[in-house]
Amino acid sequence: MLTNLSIKNFALIESLSVNFKDNLSIITGETGAGKSILLGALGLVLGKRADSTSLKYNDKKCIIEAQFQISNYKLESFFNENDIDFEKDTIIRREILPSGKSRAFINDTPTTIQVLQDLSEKLIDVHSQHQTLQLSDVNFQFKIIDALANNSAKIESYQRGLQLFNKLSKELRNLKINQEKEQEQYEYNLHLFKELETANLQVDEQEEIEQSLDKLNNIEEIKLNLAEAQALAFNDEIGLQALLHSFSGNLHKIAAYSNEYKELSDRIVSLKIEFEDIANEVENLNENVSFDPVELEKLNDRLQLIYNLQKKHSVSFISELLAVQEELSIKVDAVENSSAIISAKENEVKKVAVKIDKLAKIIFDERKKAIPVLIKKLEDILINLGMENTRFKFNLNHTHNYFSNGKDELQLLISANKGTNFGELKKIASGGEMSRIMLAVKAILSEYLNLPTIIFDEIDSGVSGDVSQKMAEIMQQMSENMQVITITHLPQIAAKGVQHYKVYKEDIDNNIVTKLKYLTDNERVNEIAEMLSGKDITETAIEHAKQLLN
């Protein structure tokens, strides 16, 4: 529950701190005194949007803190999921800088506005006058029914399934779209792929072919030079081989006389062996050199094929052609195997659909059982609120469509008087009747939702007399299970509170500020008397106020 609200430099508030307790708390004050400012400040703590216009003094930052006692509400998992330290007395702080930027903290840990909003939904329900319009909102109507039906866990499971269903359905749609697109290019891609596949390209073959062609195109020069080299090597008189043999013999004869002669002899022997090997290889090459016009044509054709493919695919290397071939293979396979892939994806979608359809049917059945209970509770409460002839009808239909909370469509109809036809709520009920219906709804929800705090902002608008007395009693009953804070103009409701606070304006050195104070018993009598009779409080009003308080 909300235990403290501290506000600094916000709107007409310079500095304000108020402690709240459990049960029913009342806030009263003249119109324009600043009750809406309190709710505005609380709204910022709960994640509402902020800007620099919220500041009272533009050169100072605004700080709003709200402290909640949350030990009994099983929120530890929420704090763990958002990496925030859990504290039984949790403090939410919002700071608005003069620049208009804002910062948010939970237990001194910086956080996002979205996290504040998610947490606030678990801590507090602020009901303002315009929120009676929610009664006509189908999602809100479902929320009421599902609370009684205990559908929360089932709907969460359904939503997880629906998220997966939508994801798989999107993937299936994309597969079909891609199949259509790829099918249009399939024949062309297949032709290109087969062309490359038939070419049977090898990574290094272009360089090898170019070298072979270079050799064949210069065969005469190669033959001439090999023959001359062979003659120089093997000529009996002046051949290099014979000269080396003689040179080696001379050194061998003197090798025994000195180590340096021996080293020279050994070196020439090695040179002689290497030269003989080279000369023999030149001889073999010379014998095997021949011009093959068939081979030349074959190599030219192959190289031209490679060049043509490179030009066609705008690449320069065989490795790039092979990459193109792989890419084309994937595209061709995608089309040829798409039917099987699509069929498998369709089966996935169907399996998930079966599961969420089953969940949606369970949700529908639970709603059907809860609706009569809800109608009975609503009508019983409204009898005490002067709407004894009001009747409700919920038309619930199970459809084939998937919605965020199931597969059902809902229509709420109301009849306000005996003998009248049922019609839409917003067309039948007046503002005061809408307020009473909303109070009845909140009273019922308080039995089923584990919500710590609810704030009513003038929910008594448009009612008076005995009806306001009954509304106050309902709020009292609600406050036995949760903290209820009510902003009201009616003395009958104000008198029912356990705690009573007054919002007022004060002129301090020509500076209007909003303040809030906790009323003592005597101050409370005077406040309620003033609500009864106006500024000129009469003895009768004092006595009436005491009677109401007692």
| Rounded Cα gap, residues 42 and 18, in angstroms | 12
| Rounded Cα gap, residues 300 and 311, in angstroms | 16
Q: Residues 263, 332: one domain?
A: yes
Contact status, residue 493 vs residue 500, Cβ threshold 8 Å: no
Which of 337, 361, 394 terminates a domain? The answer is 337
Q: What is the CATH number of the domain that holds 495?
A: 3.40.50.300
**pLDDT confidence of 417, banded at 50, 70, 90?**
confident
Q: Is 39 helix (H, G, I), strand (E, B) or coil?
A: helix
Q: Residues 240, 123: one domain?
A: no
Per mean pLDDT, which of 229-238, 268-277, 400-409, 541-550 is the most reliable? 400-409
β-partners of residue 34 are none
Of the candidates 496, 508, 545, the one whose C-alpha atom is nearest the C-alpha of residue 523 is 545
Name the residue type at position 419.
G
Radius of gyration of the chain (CA): 47
Q: Residues 65, 213: one domain?
A: no
Predicted pLDDT at 446: 85
Predicted pLDDT at 367: 96
| Rounded Cα gap, residues 38 and 503, in angstroms | 9
Residue 397 belongs to a domain: no
Can you tell me the mean pLDDT for 121-125?
89
Which residue reads 């003038």 in tokens? 458
Contact status, residue 66 vs residue 42, Cβ threshold 8 Å: yes
For a pLDDT cut of 70, what percent of the chain falls above it? 99
Q: Residues 239, 300: one domain?
A: yes
Residue 395 belongs to a domain: no
Q: Residues 298, 207: one domain?
A: yes
Angle (deg, nearest 10), helices 152-199 and 318-384: 170
Predicted pLDDT at 4: 94
Q: Tell whether the model's pLDDT for residue 265 goes beyond 90.
A: no
Higher pLDDT, residue 220 or 488: 488
Q: Tell whether the model's pLDDT for residue 133 goes beyond 80.
A: no
Q: Which two tokens stand for residue 246?
A: 């003689």
**pLDDT confidence of 129, banded at 50, 70, 90?**
low
Contact status, residue 370 vs residue 145, Cβ threshold 8 Å: yes
Which of 276, 305, 337 terminates a domain? The answer is 337
Predicted pLDDT at 127: 83
- At 206, give phi and psi (nearest 5°): -60, -45
Q: Tell whether the model's pLDDT for residue 130 goes beyond 70.
A: no
| Rounded Cα gap, residues 357 and 349, in angstroms | 12
Q: Beta-carbon neighbour count of residue 308 at 10 Å?
A: 12
Residue 197 belongs to a domain: yes
Which of 306, 321, 337 terminates a domain? The answer is 337
Q: Residues 116, 183: one domain?
A: no
Contact status, residue 125 vs residue 454, Cβ threshold 8 Å: yes
> Which residues, at least 6 apart from 30, have a Cβ–Cβ distance to it below 8 Å?
504
| Rounded Cα gap, residues 403 and 162, in angstroms | 9
Beta strands in 186-279 (DSSP E): none
- At 6, give phi and psi (nearest 5°): -120, 130
Of the candidates 424, 380, 381, the one whose C-alpha atom is nearest the C-alpha of residue 141 is 424
Kindly report the average pLDDT of the chain as a whole number.
Answer: 88
pTM for this model (two decimals)? 0.67
Total of domains in the chain: 2
Residue 406 belongs to a domain: no
Q: Which domain holds residue 27?
A: 1-127+451-519
| Rounded Cα gap, residues 511 and 490, in angstroms | 30
Residue 295 belongs to a domain: yes
Q: Which two tokens stand for residue 159?
A: 């939503």
Q: Residues 212, 68: one domain?
A: no
Of the candidates 48, 76, 51, the one whose C-alpha atom is nearest the C-alpha of residue 62 is 51
Which residue reads 């209970």 in tokens? 373
Q: Residues 222, 312: one domain?
A: yes
User: Per-residue pLDDT tens for 438-457?
Assistant: 889 989 988 887 778 999 98
The mean-pLDDT minimum among 25-39, 284-298, 306-320, 525-539 falls in 284-298
Burial 233-251 (b: 16+ CB within 10 A, else e): beeeeebbbeebeeebeeb
Residue 485 belongs to a domain: yes
Q: Is 6 helix (H, G, I), strand (E, B) or coil?
A: strand
Q: Residues 56, 122: one domain?
A: yes
Can you tell me the mean pLDDT for 210-223?
78
Q: What secondary structure letter does DSSP report for 47?
A: T
Which residue reads 């195997």 in tokens? 337
Can you tell me the mean pLDDT for 113-117?
92
DSSP 263-290: HHHHHHHHHHHHHHHHHHHHHHHHHH--
| Rounded Cα gap, residues 514 and 33, in angstroms | 7
Can you tell me the mean pLDDT for 53-61?
85
Helix (H) or strand (E) run with residue 145 in it: helix 138-149
Residue 187 belongs to a domain: yes
Contact status, residue 502 vs residue 520, Cβ threshold 8 Å: no
Q: Residues 201, 296: one domain?
A: yes
- At 154, give phi and psi (nearest 5°): -65, -40
CA dihedral 30, 36, 41, 43 (to 10 degrees): 150
Q: Tell whether the model's pLDDT for residue 375 goes beyond 90.
A: yes
Q: Residues 115, 245: one domain?
A: no
**pLDDT confidence of 428, banded at 50, 70, 90?**
confident
Burial 273-290 (b: 16+ CB within 10 A, else e): eeeeeebeebbeebeeee
Q: Residues 201, 318: one domain?
A: yes
Q: Which two tokens stand for residue 183?
A: 């099918």
| CA distance from start to end of the chain | 27
Residue 431 belongs to a domain: no
